Amino acid sequence: MKTIAVIGGGITGVTTAYALARRGLSVTLFEKNRYAAMETSFANGGQLSASNAEVWNHPSTLLKGLKWMLRNDAPLLVNPKPSWHKISWFAEFISHLPHYERNTIETARLAVAAREHLFAWAEEEGIDFDLKKQGILHIYRDKAGFDHAGRVSELLARGGLPRRAVTPSEMKAIEPTLAGQYHGGYYTESDSTGDIHKFTNGLARAAERRGVRTLFGQDVQGVKVHGGGIRVTASDASGLAQHDFDGVVVCAGTASRQIAASLGDRINIYPVKGYSITVNLRDETSQRSAPQVSLLDDATKFVTSR
């Protein structure tokens, strides 16, 4: 049986380890934290959003990025201080602008296929991750944003994801707590929300039941090609240890670039910092006032999930 190391125990590493185990491979998962999903997969926006499949490699993103650099309340800020990694990442980002349409269609297709797996695995393994199938509503304050979303909808439809335009009054009917003025929205009924930390931990336990060896608290220090296979060097409280495998999958989030480079491979991930807060709705007024349907405001890059 082929032996595979998976480096990283976020949602990418755990789903990879689980999928490989289902295919009959012998899998070992390395995660430097004591549990799965303690970094980016700890608490995100909670959206299972195939409707967010539009890739960012569009000329308007570059324009917005430049304008945002002059605003204090910009939804995304780029530190202008140059570094080789930043320059190479932006160069690659720009080189993909011509593939915007094709990549958006393919990302939508991938997202639709991925969520089918996710739902099926959660059901088969009995994972409770607060899944809520109430759709996602994208909201637009101006005509330009709404018109762009209309063009995105055509690409999503070509990727197999239907969504419908809604008027401000329809938006209010879908989510009665919405306040303020909007030009319109797009509602994707098939989208949903859930708790990424609960899902990843539930799937990690399911992977263990299927024979995956999970090594938590193991910080991978180095990976190299060794005798036709791969040698992983990892450390824990008791010191360094070496492990040999037939292959490796690098799922280490923002650390992936450095780990892959030691194998002569290139994963050009550049880290972005984002914030998520979880609010406990204690009193009745708060519970009544918070949205039930998940929202995405494209202009401010703001999402809510209940």
| Sites of contact with ligand FAD (CB under 6 A) | 7-13, 30-33, 38-41, 44-47, 49, 196, 219-220, 251-253, 255, 274-276, 303
**3 versus 44: smaller Cβ distance to ligand FAD:** 44
CB of 263 to ligand FAD, least distance (A): 13
43 close to 27: Cβ distance less than 8 angstroms: no
Cβ at position 167, least distance to ligand FAD in Å: 25
- Our CB check for ligand FAD shows the closer of 9 and 185 to be 9
For ligand FAD, the closer CB: 170 or 208: 208
Least distance (Å) between residue 201 CB and ligand FAD: 12
Least distance CB 58 / ligand FAD (angstroms)? 19
Residue 15 C-beta: closest distance to ligand FAD, Å: 8
Which residue number, 98 or 222, has a Cβ lying nearer to ligand FAD?
222
Residue nearest to ligand FAD (CB): 10
